[in-house]
Amino acid sequence: MHSRIFTSAIRPAFARASTFSLTGPAARMGSVVRQQSSTRPPVEYSSRKNFKQTWLMDGATYPIIVIITFAVTMCSGFTAYKFLHSPDNRVNPRKRTSLMRDWK
């Protein structure tokens, strides 16, 4: 029942959309913008600014740096913890070939 209501409401919208012209002003505007943007030379920030000028001279980037540093530290710490303490990691050569885990 719900699908019939949905399709009966959507069908007229698709019928109206299929009658729109694909060569109208809106379609041509996209091609004009694409032509203008592709003829401009690319902006090269790397040749004019280095890392210090880009990130460390602006105070608004400090929270981003802190958040990314915190996330990388937490991910690295969790990975190291799981690698060292998980019983599924068999780094010890004597325990690698055992089929059953009998250690704690």
Kindly indicate the confidence band of residue 99, based on its pLDDT and cuts at 50, 70 and 90.
Answer: low
Position 17 scores a pLDDT of: 63
- What would the two tokens of residue 82 be? 């799981």
Q: Return the top range by mean pLDDT from 51-55, 87-91, 97-101.
A: 51-55
Q: Mean of the per-residue pLDDT values for the chain?
A: 73
Give residues with Cβ within 8 angstroms of 100, minimum separation 6.
none
Buried b (16+ CB within 10 A) or exposed e, 24-38: eeeeeeeeeeeeeee
Dihedral angle over CA of 52, 53, 55, 56, nearest 10:
60
- pLDDT tens for residues 32-82? 555 555 555 555 555 667 778 878 888 888 999 999 999 999 999 999 999
